[in-house]
Amino acid sequence: MPSKDLHHGSLEERVAEEQELWDRVRDETFTDRSLLELTYPSYEAFFTSYPEYRYVYDFFGPSVRDRRILEVGCGPGVVSVALALSGALVTAVDVSGSGLRVTRERAEHYGVSDRVETIQRPAEQLDFPEGTFDFFLAKSVVHHLIIDDVMPRVYRFLRPGGKGAIVEPLGNPILDFARWHLPYPGKVARGEHGTDEFFTRGTIRQILGHFDYGDSREFRLLGMLGQLLAPRGKGFEARRAQEARTRRVRALVDPVDDALFRMLPPLRRLAQLVVLRFGRAGA
């Protein structure tokens, strides 16, 4: 299949590409209703599961009860429902109608429908009153977005003192080659570049420049083995077993990653993920 590169496409073209892909993925995956059970029971359980999410947890704090949270790119609602189970009021945004349908079904299944609002709209077109949200969260979606359209909106949507976090894949020649050319468990790309534009140092500076303060940290070097060594099966039990294997691998290699990054900082450029934390200054 010839490569399709929509980095410079119109917003309508970019959204149509992502919507078609993720509607198909969610529809195919969630014919198995047991997968609705794959939800962390709380904010704490999810955000202390791995070091990259602990970095967000340490920033947001130990409780999200009664906090208003905007999640952009909610996918099938795993994070949105975990937040709601801990008492947060979540606005879950995605361009995939199928993903939002699964999010609503998951919220209903866990009895938190009243705490999860879904909105199907591109992040570039969101509009809320200034200071609506306490927290902003985006996981593996900002690399699809037009950053200078989205981030000024996020800043405005945050209340004074509000905080945000972004978890994203990093770009480097080794990882980019694997993403475009090698098979691996969980890969959903169709041999097309689409709107993917993985983060660089410039991307990180660009995003943090829209906020009053911020920082970033890289994660997963050997930790990538957790993804490679835990083949994906079908159904709830297989996926739960996959998660358990990943946890065992990560428990062994995450401390090694941390030591390597401290001893050899240039290795951070080969990490799989980067986490950005930022905020709006208080009143």
DSSP-assigned states of every residue in 36-94: GG---SSHHHHHTSSHHHHHHHHHH-S--TT-EEEEES-TTSHHHHHHHHTT-EEEEEE
What is the third-level CATH fold of 11-218+271-279? Rossmann fold (3.40.50)
Instruction: Give pLDDT tens digits for 14-44.
Output: 888 888 888 998 888 888 888 888 788 999 9
For residue 238, name the pLDDT band (cuts at 50, 70, 90): confident
User: What is the C-alpha to C-alpha distance for residues 239 and 231, in angstroms, rounded to an integer?
Assistant: 9
Amino acid at site 18: E
Q: What is the mean pLDDT of the chain?
A: 87
For residue 194, name the pLDDT band (cuts at 50, 70, 90): low
More confident residue, 31 or 259: 259
| Residue 237 CA, distance from chain mean position | 24
Q: Where are the domains of the chain?
A: 11-218+271-279
Instruction: Give pLDDT tens digits for 79-125.
Output: 999 999 999 999 999 999 999 999 999 999 999 999 999 999 999 99
Instruction: Give pLDDT tens digits for 144-158.
Output: 899 999 999 999 999
- State yes or no: pLDDT of 244 exceeds 70: yes
